[in-house]
Structure 1
Amino acid sequence: MSTVIEQPVEARLVAAAPRMPNIPATLRYDLNDPFAVRMTFPAPATLGGEEVCWTFSRELLATGLHSPRGDGDVRVRPYGYDRTVLEFHAPEGTAVVHVRSGELRRFLEATRALVPDGLEHTHLDLDHDLAELMRDAC
């Protein structure tokens, strides 16, 4: 059984221009970090010309499908019939993308098949993580 779920999604960048270009992005969930989701944008789609990866909680993504959530760097809210808005806030500015809610739901269902909601803690090796933390502190 794979411990990583990756799913390509089509994100639509909301820009000042009337045309909203599509951006290929990838959602990733790793059993080794069971609370987190990563969304990666390829280098050609970013201002700096380098791949950009945002990490945020799976719970934020799931609850943001139904009502506005987030007050930090990543915010998620429903938009219309089958769209979800993800906002990514950085010192350089804010990127706003629309993703089909169905794609996000499919991704979340796959992550829940790997780690059901509420059981994320059972996949953490706290003793190992604490040992690593202490090793780095010495």
Structure 2
Amino acid sequence: MSPVIEQAVQARLVASVPRTETVAATLRYDRTDPFAVRMAFPPLATLEGTEVTWEFSRELLASGIHEPVGLGDVRVRPFGYGRTVLEFHAPEGTAMVHLRTSDLRRFLERSEDLVPAGHEHLHLNLDHDLTELLRDAC
């Protein structure tokens, strides 16, 4: 089984004007970085005109389906029936996207097939990470 899961999702960008725009985004989970989820937005959906990727914890995403969570740059909360809102806060402003909760659940289930919640520590390569951290220290 591949150590990486990618899933395309339709993200509804919520603008400050009364309109929404739907863009394709990609959720990514890699068991070599078992605590993290990445969400990439294509160039057309960003102010910079380049792909933008946000990284946040899998636990934040899983909890945010059920209740509002997050105090920092990424916040997640349920929204009505069948939707979840992700808010991305940056110095340039805030991006808010609506996703189908069923898509998020399916992605989380697939990620837990690779690495069950609570077992992430078993997939860390601490020796390698420590070597990389100390590589230039000598």
TM over 0.5: yes
What SS does the aligned partner of 2:39 have?
strand
Q: Tell me what 2:2 maps to.
A: 2
Q: Tell me what 1:23 maps to.
A: 23
Give CA deviations for 1:68-90 in whole Å, capped at 9, x if unaligned.
Answer: 00000000000001000000000
Offset of 1:137 from its aligned partner?
2.7
The unaligned stretches of length 5 or more in structure 1 are none
What SS does the aligned partner of 1:21 have?
strand
The answer to whether 1:131 aligns with 2:92 is: no
Give me the whole-angstrom Cα distance separating, in 1, the residues matched to 2:17 and 2:127.
Answer: 51
1:1-138 correspondence runs (5 A): 1-138=1-138
Offset of 1:128 from its aligned partner?
1.0
Q: How many residues align?
A: 138
Give me the whole-angstrom Cα distance separating, in 2, the residues matched to 1:51 and 1:40.
Answer: 7
What SS does the aligned partner of 1:127 have?
helix
Aligned CA-pair RMSD:
0.7
> Which 10-residue stretch deviates more, 98-107 or 14-23?
14-23
Which AA in structure 2 matches 1:55?
A: E
Offset of 1:23 from its aligned partner?
1.1
TM-score w.r.t. the length of structure 1 is: 0.98
Percentage of identical aligned residues: 70
Give me the whole-angstrom Cα distance separating, in 1, the residues matched to 2:19 and 2:130.
Answer: 49
Give me the whole-angstrom Cα distance separating, in 1, the residues matched to 2:16 and 2:58.
Answer: 29
Give me the whole-angstrom Cα distance separating, in 2, the residues matched to 1:130 and 1:16.
Answer: 44
